[in-house]
Structure 1
Amino acid sequence: MHRERSQLTPRRRGIALFAGLLLAVGSPAAVSAHEGHAGHEEGKAAAAAAPSFVQIPMAKGSDAIGEPLSLAVLPDRSVLTTSRDGTLYLTDQAGTTSTAAKIPVYSHDEEGLQGVAIDPDFKNNRAVYLYYAPKLDTPGGDAPSEGSAADFAKFDGVNRLSRFVLKQDGTLDLGSEKKVLDVPATRGQCCHVGGDIDFDKDGNLYLSTGDDTNPFASDGYTPIDDRDKRNPVFDARRSSGNTNDLRGKILRIKVADDGSYTVPDGNLFPKGTEKTRPEVYAMGFRNPYRMSVDKKNGTVYVGDYGPDAGAANPNRGPAGQVEFNRITKPGNFGWPYCTGKNDAYVDYDFATSQSGSKFDCNAPKNDSAHNTGLSTLPPAQPAWIPYDGGSVPEFGSGSESPMAGPVYRYDESSTSSVKFPQEYEGNFFAGEYGRRWIKRIEQGDDGTVQKINDFPWTGTQVMDMAFGPDGALYVLDYGTGAFGGDANSALYRIEYAKDGLTPIAEVSADRTDGQGPLKVSFTGKATDGDSQDLTYAWDFGDGTKGEGLNPSHTYEKNGTYQVTFTAKDADGHVGSANMRIVVGNTKPKVEITTPTDGSLYNFGDPVPFKVKVTDPEDQDIDCSKVTVRFSLGHDSHAHELSKTQGCEGTLTPPKDGEHDQDANIFGVLGAEYTDKGAGGQQPLTGQSQLTLQPHNRQAEHFATQSGVKTYEKSGAHGSRTVGDIHNGDWISFTPYRLTGATKFKARVASAGAGGTLELRTGSPTGPLHASAEVKPTGGWEKFADVETAVKDVPDETTKLYLVFKGGSGALFDIDDFDLTVSGTGTGTRTGEIKGVNGKCVDVADGTSANDTQIQLLGCDGRAGQKWTLPGDKTVRALDKCLDVKGRGTADGTKIQLYECNGTSAQEWVPADDKTLRNPHSGKCLDASGGTWNDKTPLHLWTCHAKTNQQWNLP
């Protein structure tokens, strides 16, 4: 789903939403709001006359709706929502949530249960459509980046569109499944699934599909790598640019009751056209994650995610941008050749790193070795609303994550008191996941944007939206976690408060599970914008009732109980909130003990981990059921890069070649365990997450600040600095663990008085760990580095503060800062391996191909001389391992680079005599012939500890 949008470049940068995914965020207050801004008397009058809306929480928290991805509103105002783990939830209009189904799914990075929609004739046939990744006989690990066609074929899978029947009791009849359509999918690699489903007025089904392409090796530009032995997943021309492939498309079909389908006339390619798929309505999308169809005229609205290049490059193409598309007829929307207003990418040879010509947006040519479709493609269509940074002022700035919502159609015949007003007729509701807004866009009949309006929204990250049969807007909120949902995950109904505001109710408890008898203390909260006279009532789910705001109740018997708290105003409006209490089973406690939250980390390095799980009912924890994920965090979302099972081990995530190094990116390590269930109750899942911080951090990505502003500067890294700094101002970042930090360096500029830059922890007046003098540099655009030693850092996770001191007036600007540690904060050691004569251990020619010779070479900082010792006995470079060829033991056996496989041929143990020993053979890493010439090969040899076997490790 999520866009790999990593940077806030000159046009793109504003104050970042987070310094990390795990930053504490206040629970979104669901309160009534007036659309528009009120300020002066004129503004107040306008606000008073504007329509009023109330945002009602229907379900709240991951325990209620899992990791929410998509929604469908039923005729009775109940809502189906999907969770990536395969759970389909049903929430009724009063907010009572139950599990409708558990679909067995394949889960890796973005895959799982995605889209849901109901059939236009649902009242009669109760048909529900799901788009999901079925479990198949494919490997569960990460697919290789390089290898043979057979190696890649092992990871071939599909994402499936199926039709089911929802029974009257609110459960999905899994036996009723009718497979409609399979879309190819490369498993074990990231990214882009798409998966939204909608219907037009004629009953045609539309399905959005992602390009199923790994973006992390293209420098943020177009991924078109079709090299031999390279996994095809790195080439979007095989999918989005392929007329004979269903990926990166909007599909349009007509589904019959038996699950078969026909293709309506008028799609992009007439039926029978050679090398095309007739199901394709529109092509050329990267990740059209959210889509809607206007029932009145069939216009399709799509939010498509773009790549992450921080700036345009004449040799590669335009800077990253995203777009809303308005599709009124079949067409090609450009990816991976063109983006935005038909900004063309440059043809690029990944083997030679040479650029060719710009692609012709009027007649793109697909000459990829992986193309099975037409070579000449339809002309690329420009985007309806492309944007990045602040290019659309009404959209603000920050991470770009477009979520195409619905078009509102006013129903005169409806007697609903909560339907949106008639003046919103024809308005498009656009959502933004990263920027956290909903905008109401007025448009002409031809799609001309007439006005972009704010719309009241007090949740967090918009995931999906739809208008219900009552004319209210239903919004799915992802929350602020990564892969699994969190306390802010929610389903809301936004009503037009024409007849007065409904009370907004919230409920919490001091515990939600445990062995009986279980005493639970509840807390209810309620607000009402037009009434203070509220009465409260409780239904504890076991036949007993309560009143007031803070009752306690003891559950004597095992069971799963739905608790309902209601608030009623004097006008009879009733608001309710629900939660679940499980008696008889206890949620497992999951703790990541290694690494620690906020540790410093180098992207691409292995991550050794240890996880501790305790569960009162599961006395023996099955570590094979513990899932550990490493994700690349970016602004307010994350992309899973690697996953494994176990309580202890090492994750080896790929290097990030998608995001600008100056972006707000960080590592996210997550662990989860689902217990066996107990006391006759369902299994419960415990989760834990932590953040790994990069050594280099752009100052503008602060979490909180006092007194400063941010400024665009062409000479700044990432094109933005923190400025307007005066004595006593500060910026903070969280979480950070500075264990091992030895040096602090900052990039600054000053045409002012200069001053002192302090590094503190805990608070702006907390312990001082570093202090650097900042002298005037000769101009606000002239940057210089200042550095100083770091001392007495706390061995705990804390907040990091940069505090600015000096005289009067503006002091200086800060661009970014670095923290140097001995090793890395995750316990790894990274750097050069040098012989005693100063030559470096080097990967020949810097290639990452298997069997590449390891040699000596003069140290020059190249990537093939950057080695990591992650603490698991491996020695790694270029995402692969130092390896004894064939697991040999004979003197002279070749030492090579090879894919990490956990065998004894890749185990190396440093000894006190400076040798590096392979325990399997009992022999040492040795420079052939005892020489130190450039390109001297390294091999295995009987240990003698002479100089050609002595190595200085990082």
Structure 2
Amino acid sequence: MRTLLRTVLGGVTAGLAVLACATPARPVAAADAGYDVLVFSKTAGFRHDSIPAGIQAIRDLGAANNFSVTATEDAAAFTTGNLGRYAAVVFLNTTGDVLDGGQQAAFESYIRGGGGFVGVHSAADTEYDWPFYGQLVGAWFASHPAIQQATVRVEDRAHAATAHLPQAWTRTDEWYNYQTNARSTAHVLASLDESSYSGGSMGGDHPHSWCKTLDGGRSFYTGGGHTIESYADPAFRAHLLGGIRYAAGRTHADCRPETGYTTLYDGATAGWSQAGPGGFTNTDATLTSYDGLGLYWYTQREYADYSLKLDWRMAGDDNSGVFVGFPASDDPWSAVNKGYEIQIDATDTPDRTTGAVYGFQSADLAARDAALNPPGEWNTYELLVQGQRLQVFLNGVKINDFTNTDPARSLAGHVGIQNHGTGDDVSFRNIRIRDLGGAGGGDTTVEAEAYSSASGVTPFDKPGAHGGRTLGYIDPGDWAGYDGLDLTGVTALVARVVSGGPGGTIEVRADSPTGPVLGSVAVPNTGGWTSFADVSTGLSGVPTGAHTLYLTFAGTGNGLFDVDDVTLRRGTGGGGRTGPVVGLAGKCLDVRNAATADGTQVQLYSCNGTGAQQWTVGSDGMLKALGKCLDVSGGGTADGTKIQLWTCNGTGAQNWSAQPDKTVRNPQSGKCLDVEGNNPADSTPVHLWTCYANPNQQWTLP
């Protein structure tokens, strides 16, 4: 963002990448620097009659896109000196053993030294006895059915080989099955929908095109290209061109393997909300900003430790940014003032240009410039947040490493994208996140209405609900599933519920709505459809790693209850851990005068080992001392609300969640346990306050 909006710059915009039905030429902001490509089509097995058409297509692409083409079937071209002339080598429908030992050594040296490889179709049916080649191509051919029409599912619409394609690309070709799945070692760009044709044998996860790196080298493979007709198809030609440009280092991409991510946006905007003026159009699974200054933010969850990935493109000298670590708010300036922006801007000052943590830390500009694609082309960010450390990756290259030390800000919170103002037009695709909270020990909260799959239930707008909606219309036998949740270390579930109906039961399962019950909890009538309460249960038999979590619902009658959100708690089960809670200046959380009356003030005091400082951290989210619970007075949410000792009652006022940044958060209010005035003196009260993760909000639990 910038403080002042800019006027539209005349004559600076670049044409968006168009596709499919046009010429093989590529609409980009500036031509690539010239380079040379070697096309190798030697066969020692089956020979494709499409090879001449493929060579001519690549020559046409070169003539339109500033690269020259040398075509050969002579393996003698594979010498160290000769290969050094080429930015990329294309294996065009090669088959069998085509290189001898010396030629293999020269080619391996070329790739590891920074060369590029493009494999087309039966390049996967080549050099089976050469392990390096297997690594390079990504997977070897196993079998194929008859030529037929199929649907290609495009997973990455930022890579130059696939950015022009629709999400579902229907075409006719010969569809390979492979001996192994490339997903574990390569970044999958597109996969085959095995339900759309006959003869797929990879169990539904069927990569078709991918990219990867190998030491300094770059590799691109496509399973397409068997038929002569493929090479006259503008969409396939553009696909091939993007792969050549990537292999030659003329465009950049994040080609690291990618698994375990949950989609936040890939065309559907459920869970997103606009704060401030302007907004985003939503066309072709692409969000494009207009007007502003505003923020489009994901309301359904806050995140603490995570990897956020998204694809973005500028049309010209535009301005936008990605925000992390801000609290829920309808005011976009809340994110500006309490979170951090990772900037997108081609031309601003070092601390306010692409890759910078806006106003705080410049990117490594040399690394940034080497990884950045120009306006008109897509780029990929990874924002890796671990505690108060933020690492920024651009197209797979680390360009910034920032640590938050500002007590008024945090890296834990919501995520969002900015619409900066009129004329600042930036587009976004494929926003996805991987929750890393399991290994780090933090709790995970999920908005119940943000399910991945469901039966019977429906989101329901409701005042007082977190994010403004609940999971409603719950009847016996209904269920909701939540994909990709890391269940490592989870020992309990806390659900925020509301019911003016008969109530019922929530059952917790993993991987199937009919799987074993990990735990269950009764939901009472809470006193009306606007009276929220928290219910909790311990869990057992919880698997580790990423799984789909299912909530199944039981009871009698209809309209049992609504679920607002669920929190997965991590920690020991049973009675929990007991000991001091240590905070500011090494002092302890203390019950004033060791009194047990409801309403007794909780305070900071020098550690003395007495019962007034012995707290039990339960798997149910409660903190207990002297037989009673740490409590937010009146269930309040205002800054400064008293923190006291109170008879345990299971309400949200007594639920506490330890965060990776060492804050202790009350999920009901979204605020933190805080030492008043940052004062380390004995007897200083603790109260509720907006979370900043400053020293007077950092606690070490037993």
Name whichever structure is richer in strand by fraction.
Answer: 1
Scaled by the length of structure 1, the TM-score of the pair is 0.26
Scaled by the length of structure 2, the TM-score of the pair is 0.34
Name whichever structure is richer in helix by fraction.
Answer: 2
